[in-house]
Amino acid sequence: MIHSPTKSEKYFEQIQKEIKGFTDSSWANDACDSIHNEKYNLSVYFPNSDKDDFENEEWSFFVVDIDSGLKQKRTSLYSIESVIRFIKEYQNKEFQVYWFPPTYNPDTREEGIEHFTFSNGYEQEEINEIHELDISDRATLNDIIIIRTK
């Protein structure tokens, strides 16, 4: 078993060097340490062992959990570098938003993934659809078109 606050602290520091906005989200009785970024609804769970023994809640990999409301996307990664790269790619998603009648607006605007939330008027199905877009894919929602550009 390698679960230790010292090791988790090093992972946290490595992530914080590259990406701001994470806080410690671990609880004393958790199976592993974790951090959370509120802006992106993204959590990272740290490995707690050097081997995988799921019956004893031990695993040797990181888990990045993206929560877009009713749907979660979990990704297992095996190095801190791959975790940082994955998070940066997720944060860099950009979308071009176009309005058409009845609320036509000739100006378009760029939005990051963090814009598409309940508080900005998006429904859960719409949020899920936007999260799943690949580059150049589009979603049509009511009176807007959203195209993923990055």
Mean pLDDT, rounded, for 107-131: 82
Strand-pair partners of 138: 147
The pairs formed by 22-26 with CB atoms below 8 angstroms and a separation of 24 or more are none
Gap between the Cα atoms of 23 and 116, Å rounded: 22
Its pTM stands at 0.74
Query: Which of 44 and 95 is assigned the larger pLDDT?
Result: 44
Gap between the Cα atoms of 43 and 33, Å rounded: 11
> Is-contact 87 15, C-beta < 8 A?
yes
> Is-contact 80 61, C-beta < 8 A?
no
